[in-house]
Chain A
Amino acid sequence: MASTSAPKRSLVLQRRETVVSYLFLLPALFFFVGFVLTPMAMGVVTSFTDSSFQNTNTGSSFVFLDNYIRLFQDPIFLKSAVNTVVIVVVAVPTVTAFSLWVGSAIYKMHAAARSFFRCVFYLPVVTGSVAVVVVWKWMFDKYNGLFNYVIRAMGGEGLMWTESEQMALWCIILILFTTSIGQPIVLYVSALGNVDNSLVEAAQVDGATDLQVFWKIKWPSIMPTTLYVAVITTINSFQCFALIQLLTSGGPNYSTSTVMYYLYEIAFRTTKEFGYADAMGVVLAIVIALFSALQFKVMNGGTTE
């Protein structure tokens, strides 16, 4: 966007504008460089060292790729990586499809009804993970929980929920789902409201069914929103942490540990090896970037040109 129509401006004026611009940018750059870029760089550098809580005073040394090699031989890391992929692969399509369904069901409603539903589905996002998780934990409780009460009242046998290796991850995914659909719904409601109505009407005049109208007209025009929703849901699912830390602490037997959770456990709870944990962070960041780029490619390929 730079250098559009300014060949005739004098050098002095250009220099002045540069100085003024950086003065405007100064506060934002201070916080951004100081507390986002610097730790990013520190993380990458540390991931090549054996830095840990034990050698904070004595100093750490470079171990090159040792941390990265160790990652792929660490069974708990591999288990956490599999769990993370399961969460992403289950959550992203369900969240996207479900929020699209809610969005299309409510966008034509009366304004009051529309904002009521939008609000309801957004509330778990607003209240934050902690308040949401403590109440879910109570509902999942095998003795005092509401779910087991209902099951027993109907004559069934109470379930273990978060204490069972088979079920715990699904409990996490369920809560993650309820805290993830709020933003996509808001986006879909506004995207569907912006679909060119004359196209829809023209198609209806030509005798197109509702389903045809949806796939041929609405779906292509809300594609950018779908892409955005898929990307943010992917990033959020990869980073799912608070739910796990509060609900299961990665257990039972690491069945709900994710890369993000294992990273936290290594850095702050167990061995406190910062270098090793940072290597995990770098791998996670690369994987997220790759996934987002892939989604971008796949979904764009389906619509444009």
Chain B
Amino acid sequence: MSGKKQRITPYFIISVILLIALAIFFLFPLYWIVTGSVKEKSDIIIKAGESVKWLPTTISWDNFARLFKSQTTLFGIGMPMALRWLFNSVFISVVAMALTCFSASLAGYALAKKRFWGQGFVFSLFVCAMALPKQVILIPLLREMSILHLVDTTWGSIFAVIFPVVGWPFGVFLMKQFSEGIPSSLLEAARIDGAGEVKTFLNVALPIIQPGIGALAIFTFINAWNEYPLQLIMLSKSEAKTIALGIAGLQSEMSNDYGLIMAGAALAAVPIILVFLAFQKYFTQGITMGAVKG
């Protein structure tokens, strides 16, 4: 990063002040969720003539206690419904992530490094579908899933959310970009050594495209976690809901219990933020790679 050192000019100082003000504006909702979730009722209600409680006067876990009141079971283990929602969110994101990384890295490798009949057609199909808005397929998707009887059961409907996320062609596109970087000479050498197709992929291609898989994994995880419209139409049973859907339900049922809603929002936001912070580097890489004009 040498050679483009930041000069300190009045413009730079004004920019930094503005940026910090904006950062506060962007962080504030998050701060308001986290503090709101541990505030007592009297701190949450803003009364005329009283000052706003910017900080909780006392830390109270009462909101979480109400959030965890409704119980359910999972694999025979009793647990609060809200944790079941959290489990569903994690399950959907992890399974979608694993399936996407598996299918997209194989497909991207084939599209980048092999020459076969129909290649151009298959690739343009993926690219064209990517340019279309994914929400317009929601209604026919629900009909397809009911024909397949997936929406009738809790687990079925959970997979009805996973499959379309996996099918979305962005991953194939991203992995094709990464696979272009595999030197063909290495693949040729492996072939001459008598390695089979699968072995060549595992030993030669996989180590090279690994950063790409990392980027795709974190990208898919967060996308699946936040795929709200799809969750909304597929998941109707309470046991099948994700944390986002659960919170949305709480908001429409108990719209005035802000403490409870903030506790739910904290439960939804904090885990995914931790995941993001832990894998931030891969994420930035994934966003930038995906945008490389192809």
Interface residues of A (CB under 8 A from B): 1-4, 6, 14, 17-18, 20-22, 24-25, 27-40, 42-43, 46, 102, 105-106, 108-109, 111, 115-124, 126-132, 134-139, 143-146, 149, 152, 178, 183, 186-187, 190, 197, 200-201, 224-225, 228, 235, 238-239, 241-242, 245-246, 260, 263-264, 267-268, 274, 277-278, 281-282, 284-285, 288-289, 292
Contacts and interface: CB of A to CB of B under 8 A. Distances in A.
Interface stretch (B56-64, B68-76, B100-108, B208-216): B100-108
A51 B166 CA distance: 28
A33 B29 CA distance: 40
A39 B140 contact: yes
23 contacts: A1-B119, A20-B197, A25-B110, A27-B107, A28-B103, A36-B167, A37-B125, A40-B140, A43-B140, A46-B140, A105-B16, A111-B1, A121-B22, A123-B273, A123-B276, A124-B29, A128-B226, A130-B247, A135-B29, A138-B36, A149-B46, A186-B287, A224-B293
Contacts of B104: 28
B183 interface: no
Interface of B: 1, 3-6, 15-16, 18-19, 22-23, 26-27, 29-30, 32-33, 36, 44-46, 48, 52, 99, 102-104, 106-107, 109-111, 114-120, 122, 125-126, 129, 131-141, 143-144, 163-164, 166-169, 171-172, 197, 201, 222, 225-226, 228-229, 232-233, 244-245, 247-248, 251, 258, 261-262, 264-265, 268-269, 272-273, 276-277, 280, 284, 287-288, 291, 293
A117 B19 contact: yes
Given A20-B110, A130-B268, 10 more contacts: A24-B201, A35-B163, A39-B164, A40-B137, A40-B140, A124-B29, A127-B269, A131-B244, A134-B261, A152-B48
Contacts of B258: 138, 144
B107 A274 contact: no
Given A25-B122, A108-B5, A267-B139, A128 B228 contact: yes
A168 B233 CA distance: 25
Contacts of A200: 4
A22 to B, nearest CB: 7
Nearest to A105: B15
A251 to B, nearest CB: 13
A128 B115 contact: no
Given A24-B109, A102-B19, A131 B33 contact: yes
- Top 3 closest A-B pairs, CB basis? A28-B107, A31-B167, A281-B136
Nearest to B268: A131
Given A102-B19, A119-B280, A245-B232, A135 B103 contact: no
B288 A187 contact: yes
Contacts of A18: 116-118
A27 B101 CA distance: 11
A24 B106 contact: yes
A21 B116 contact: yes
A22 B264 CA distance: 45
A224 B3 CA distance: 24
B175 to A, nearest CB: 9
B121 to A, nearest CB: 10
